[in-house]
Amino acid sequence: MTMDLVIGMAGAGGDGVIAAGEALMTAAARGGYRAMMTKSYGPQIRGGESSFRLRIGTGEILNVGAMLDIAVALNWDDFLRFGAELPVDGRTTLVHDPAQDARPLPLEGISPAETVAVPIGEIARASAGTEKAKNTVVLGLLAGWLGLPADGLMAGLRKRFARKHPEIFAGAERAFDAGLAFARAHPLSADRRLSPAAPPSPPRWLADGNEMCAAAALVAGCEFFGGYPITPSSEIMQFLGHEIWKHGGTVLQAEDEIAGIGAVIGASFAGRKAMTATSGPGMSLKSEMLGLATIAEVPLVCVNVQRGGPSTGIPTKSEQSDLFQAAFSAHGDCVRPVLAPVSVADTCRMTIEAFNIAEQFQTPVILLSDADIAQRKEVVDPIDASAFPIVHRRVPNERELERYARFQITESGVSPISHPGMEGGTFLASGIEHNERGAPTASGEVHAQMNEKRIRKLAPLKARRDLFSFEGDPDAPIGLISWGSVAGVASEAVALARREGIQLKLLVPRLLYPISEEVYEDFFSSVRAGLVVEQSHQGQLFRIIRMFVDVPRGLESLARSGSNPISVYDVLDRVRRMVVAFQRQRVPQEEPTLG
C-alpha cells in the first residue's frame, strides 16, 4: 500500500475528463484523504483537449506532485499535448485504450513500469450504450486498482447527474460497475492501493480558490462587485452573483473591464466595500482607474488571477508573470499593496486581509492569485470565519466634520473618509492633484507633500511580519524564497532536503509589494546561497527583491514560463548542487612545491 498517489488523465472535449477528476476529489474528501487537483484545457473556445492531475494521500498535500503514478490516456494525441503537465517515467502505470490508437506507445525514451491496455470505449458502449460513459468506466478501474471507496465515487456521480434523467445515472452506474469488474479481473502487477484514511470530524471541505475568494469577500463585508468575465477569474463573479444579494449586496456585470472598476470606485466612494476581479489583459485596461483610486485614496480590492501572457497569451494555463504589472503599472509615484495567497485555504485569509488593508490604508489593493490556485480543487479543513478580525475605514468624527479636510496630512498619513450624505462631509475626489480639502492644485510643494503622505501611510504594512511565513533553520546557509502556488513545491523540497541533513530555510511572502526590506535582510543574514522559485520567465520577484535589498552573491533565480511546471525535485537538485559547491570551497588547496 502507498501513502500518496499522483493520477493524471487526458482526453478530448466531451470525454468528461474533468468530471472524472471531480468525482475522485469527492471520493477523497468523503474517505478522509487529503487531495489536490489541477485541471487544464487547450486554448480553444470550444472543444479541444482537457486533463486533470490529482494528488491524493493520507498526509498533508502542498502541491500536485512530480511524476504520475497512474496515467490514463483516452487518446494519445490529446494526452501528449499536455507535455510536462502530465509527466510519465519508469515508475508510472500507464492505462490506454488500444482502439483509439494502434501505434506503439508514443513515449520516446521512456519505459513505464506497467502498460495496461483497456478497451475503455468498448466497455462504455456495452454497459451504458454510449462512449460518453468512458470517464465513468475509468472511475471504476481506479476504484478497483487503487482501493478508492466506491460509495464516495458514486456520491460524486450522483451529484453530477442530479439534474439529469434517472436513466443517465443508471447508465453511468453500470459503466462504473463494468470498470470495477475489469480491474478486479485484471489486477495490476504492482500494488497501487492507497493506505486507509480515517474520516475526519467535522468533515473537510472541497473548494477551489475562486470560490474561496468570493466567499471570503462576503465575510470581509463586500457589498459591491463590478467586473467583466475573463478566464480564469470568472467564477468569482459567478459565485457572488448567486450569493451577494443574500447579504444586501450587488453584482454589476459591466460592458468592459474599465467600466467594471469604474463602478467599483463609485461604490467605494459611496461608502461600500467593493471589489473587482480579472486577469492580466483586464489589469492592463484597469491600470488608469487604479491610479485614480490611488490619488483619491479610495479603498478597493482588485483580484488578478494570473494566466500565461503577454497579451491574450495562454488563457487556460497558470503563470506568475503579472507581478511587475501589479507593482509598477501606474504612472507617477504610485505605491499600492500587492498580496498573494499560497493555497485554496490561504485564499480565504488573504482576501480578508486585502479588504482590511484597503480599508485601513484607504488604497486599492491587488490580490495576485493564479490559475493553479484559483481553479484547482483542494480538500481543506473547515475555516472559522468568525476568527478573522474585520477592519472598516476610519470615518470623520463631529469635530473633524466642522471644517472637513478629506486629505488632511496626519501623523499616520491616513485621513478620515466620509461618504455622500454625511453632513459636512462633502469633498471632491478626482484624479487631479489636490490640497488637504480636495481643491485642485498645481503646486509642486503640495504635490510633494501628498506623494509623501500616500506612500508614508503604508510603512506599518511593511512591518507586518505575519504576512510572511518561515520554515527551517534560522541560521541555515541556504535560503529559498517562493510565492503563490509554487510555494507548496518549495515547502516540500525543504522538508525533503532537511531529511537528507541539508541545512536550509524558506521564506514565503504573502506581501509582495511594497518590499519589506527588514524582513528580507533578516532572512539573508545567514544565507550564502539560495533560490527564488517562481513561475515566470524573468523571475520577477527575484528582480524586485534585488531592487530594494542587498542580496547575497549566491542568490539565484529558479524561474520558468507557465505550462512548464517546477517540481519538488527540480528545487531539490539545485539545492544539492549548492551543497556540493560549499564542500568544494572547504577543500584546502595544496601549496605549490618548489623543485
**pLDDT at residue 178, as a whole number:** 96
Do the Cβ atoms of 280 and 307 come closer than 8 Å?
yes
Calculate mean pLDDT across residues 324-334: 95
Q: How far is CA 233 from CA 139, 280, 281, 400, in A?
A: 29, 10, 12, 41
Instruction: Tell me the pLDDT tens digit for each residue of 99-148.
Output: 876 666 777 778 899 999 999 999 999 999 999 999 999 999 999 999 88
Instruction: Tell me the pLDDT tens digit for each residue of 455-506.
Output: 999 999 999 999 999 999 999 999 999 999 999 999 999 999 999 999 999 9
pTM comes to: 0.94
- Those residues with Cβ within 8 angstroms of residue 563's Cβ, 6 or more apart along the chain or in another chain: 83, 84, 85, 308, 314, 317, 319
- Those residues with Cβ within 8 angstroms of residue 317's Cβ, 6 or more apart along the chain or in another chain: 40, 307, 308, 371, 562, 563
Residue 297: pLDDT above 60? yes
Calculate mean pLDDT across residues 571-589: 85
**pLDDT at residue 164, as a whole number:** 77
Q: Could you tell me which residue, 189 or 584, shows the higher pLDDT?
A: 189
Calculate mean pLDDT across residues 153-162: 77
Q: How far apart are CA 221 and CA 590, in angstroms?
A: 69
**pLDDT at residue 589, as a whole number:** 56
Residue 48: pLDDT above 70? yes
Instruction: Tell me the pLDDT tens digit for each residue of 178-192.
Output: 999 999 999 999 889
Neighbour-count burial for 17-29, b at 16+ CB within 10 Å, e otherwise: bbbbbbbbbbbbb
- Indicate the pairing of strand 377-380 with strand 554-559: unpaired
**Average of per-residue pLDDT values in the chain:** 93
Q: How far apart are CA 504 and CA 574, in angstroms?
A: 12
**277: part of which helix (H) or strand (E)?**
strand 274-278
Instruction: Tell me the pLDDT tens digit for each residue of 523-552.
Output: 999 999 999 999 999 999 999 999 999 999
Task: Delineate the domains of the chain, giving CATH numbers in brackets.
Answer: 4-185 (3.40.920.10), 206-381 (3.40.50.970), 394-460 (no CATH), 465-586 (3.40.50.920)
Calculate mean pLDDT across residues 575-588: 83
pLDDT band at 299 (very low <50, low <70, confident <90, very high): very high
Instruction: Tell me the pLDDT tens digit for each residue of 364-405.
Output: 999 999 999 999 999 999 999 999 999 999 999 999 999 999
DSSP of 162-230: TTS-HHHHHHHHHHHHHHHHHHHHS--SS--PBPP-PPPSSPPEEEEHHHHHHHHHHHHT--EEEE---
In the chain, the N- to C-terminal Cα span, in Å, equals 66
Cell reading at 202: 467535522
pLDDT band at 595 (very low <50, low <70, confident <90, very high): very low
**pLDDT at residue 151, as a whole number:** 82
pLDDT band at 46 (very low <50, low <70, confident <90, very high): low
- Those residues with Cβ within 8 angstroms of residue 102's Cβ, 6 or more apart along the chain or in another chain: none
**pLDDT at residue 143, as a whole number:** 93
Q: Across-strand partners of 353?
A: none
Do the Cβ atoms of 461 and 337 come closer than 8 Å?
yes
